[in-house]
Chains A and B, each alone.
Chain A
Amino acid sequence: EPEVTQTPSHQVTQMGQEVILRCVPISNHLYFYWYRQILGQKVEFLVSFYNNEISEKSEIFDDQFSVERPDGSNFTLKIRSTKLEDSAMYFCASRADSPYEQYFGPGTRLTVT
């Protein structure tokens, strides 16, 4: 069964450094998402991406964040200058045009020190 994959599984970085989290969505899917879960809190929507552009973003997704689908298979989340509060589990998800369920990757645990 096809699945969403994410790399790395765990990333440790120092405050102020740039990180890129990578995702490979399911191949025939059209909609792509990033969510995050700070330890002990809800899973929160960050951004959705469709037709090579951001279709919706949350208040969390400020100028420090960007997404890209550089080569038709990878979907990346970049954080330009990480802060301590960016420490969280980041989940990538994708879905087809129909039906509407999203398929999640295993997540990347980002630790900012």
Chain B
Amino acid sequence: AQSVSQHNHHVILSEAASLELGCNYSYGGTVNLFWYVQYPGQHLQLLLKYFSGDPLVKGIKGFEAEFIKSKFSFNLRKPSVQWSDTAEYFCAVSRGSSNTGKLIFGQGTTLQVKP
């Protein structure tokens, strides 16, 4: 069955530190890849997405992610985090061939940024 794995459950960083959150998926076909963020008390918001083309995608708030097909990975990065990036981050995958587009989520990574 298709699955998504996020390596880090809880990450604590100081402001200005660099961030990389790992995401791997287990489906061998064409995929659509997403990172969602959930700020405290708010709903899931799309950070960035990959459907095709340039494997390095840029999202909102300075985030980017790189799709490495050979590694089945879609890691999220940000060169310099801010206190306001404190949130939960979810990687999600849908099958490119799927008519329904259902999302399979990773277990989430809680990011805590210390001022």
Contact = CB atoms under 8 A, between A and B. Distances in A.
23 contacts: A31-B100, A31-B101, A33-B102, A35-B105, A42-B105, A43-B44, A43-B108, A45-B102, A45-B103, A48-B100, A50-B99, A56-B100, A56-B102, A91-B44, A99-B51, A100-B101, A101-B34, A101-B46, A102-B101, A104-B43, A104-B44, A106-B42, A107-B43
B90 interface: yes
Q: Which of B34, B36, B51, B101 has the most CB of A within 10 A?
A: B101
A100 B51 CA distance: 9
A91 B34 CA distance: 17
Interface of A: 4, 31, 33, 35, 41-45, 48, 50, 55-56, 91, 93, 95, 99-107
B94 interface: yes
A106 B39 CA distance: 11
Q: What bracket does the count of chain B residues touching chain A fall in? A: 20 to 34
A44 B44 contact: no
Contacts of B104: 45
B47 to A, nearest CB: 10
